Amino acid sequence: MMEMSRKRVIFIDYIRALAILMVIMCHVIDVNCLFWLGYQEMSGARQIIIYTLLIFGRCGVPLFLMITGYLLLDRDYSHGKWKSFYLHKWLHLFLLTEIWFVIYEGFSVFLQGNSFVGKDFVLRLLFIKEPVLSHAWYLPVILGLYLLLPVLALVWKKLSDQGCLITVFLIWALILLLQRLAQESITLNLNYALYMLIGGTYKRWHTKLAEHKQVACVICGLAGIFALAECEGFLWLQHKKGQAVSLWYDNAGVFLLSLTLFGLIMLLAQEKNSFVERLSQDSFGIYLIHNMIALVMMLWLEKWNGNFYLRMIFTYLLVWGIAWGLTRMIGKIPHVGDWILYKRRSK
């Protein structure tokens, strides 16, 4: 979700704007379905609709990671430039993460009524224990990827275009093998890095794909339909077996659908749009804030006995609107606002 920006790339704004809308969708579903428990009581038609929204929602984080790879993997980190990257980008993100972890801890204690345990709080600040809010897992992940970026970029530049493509396929094959061996933690970390490498591969092949845009779009479209069907079947089987319905970023269908969405938007989104650009600029701030809004709304949602779909729409619009409004307000604080939100400005 984070990257350096020298000049704005139009299609990147579209992907980033779509990605934050997808991330919000995941947490709106969480609070409306009581964190997976509500799936077991749904009708077949409602399951298909919610599963589809969840599947597309799960593509948000992969798209953010692919953006990072697209924009950062081909940068020059030689001759001490890696020091500037760590000091100005990684350190900024680290300090920002610690600040927001403190804010989330306060939210958990004062608004959710949870007990404060000093030891657990310190472990969370050290990234040893899971954050108190579910969406914040992404911050330590991107910090880890940023640590590796200069090294990955050095290796990446030595690969040919074909070599980049082969590398991506080999890592994906390794991930699938590790999944069979139940090596979950290794699989997840490799998977996050793979999404970033896919973004870098798209950068290498962008011109070639654009030369065959129509064929590339058809292939992406068909692959996307196949991926969506795979995810629907995966979730349906979980429900059929009475298991907790869950879909994460190492799922093959999520991987393929995210890849195709990135490719389609890269090839088709060419017109600059001020609304999309503003949403893209504010995406990280919205990400930092939105889940707190959703969790606060849970108390109201539990008492809502009306139409489920209206409740979903109302929740989504309110979470998005309040989070974006707060992001805009915080961004106006002199010197501090943009820094704490990692806000992107147009060039």
- Per-residue pLDDT of 153-194, as tens digits, reads 999 999 999 999 999 999 999 998 888 887 777 888 899 999
Confidence band of 246 (pLDDT split at 50, 70, 90): confident
Interacting residues of 91 by C-beta distance below 8 A, sequence separation 6+: none
Give the number of other Cβ atoms within 10 Å of residue 178's Cβ. Answer: 18
pLDDT tens figures, 39-74: 556 667 888 888 999 999 999 999 999 999 999 999
Distance between CA atoms of residues 107 and 170, nearest Å:
42
* pTM metric for this prediction: 0.93
pLDDT at 53: 94
pLDDT tens figures, 221-238: 999 999 999 999 999 888
Interacting residues of 331 by C-beta distance below 8 A, sequence separation 6+: 282, 285, 337, 338, 341, 343
Say if CB 253 and CB 58 are below 8 A apart: no
Q: Which of 233, 239, 159, 236 is nearest to 197 (CA)?
A: 159
One DSSP character per residue, 280-299 reads: HHTHHHHHHHHHHHHHHHHH
pLDDT at 4: 41
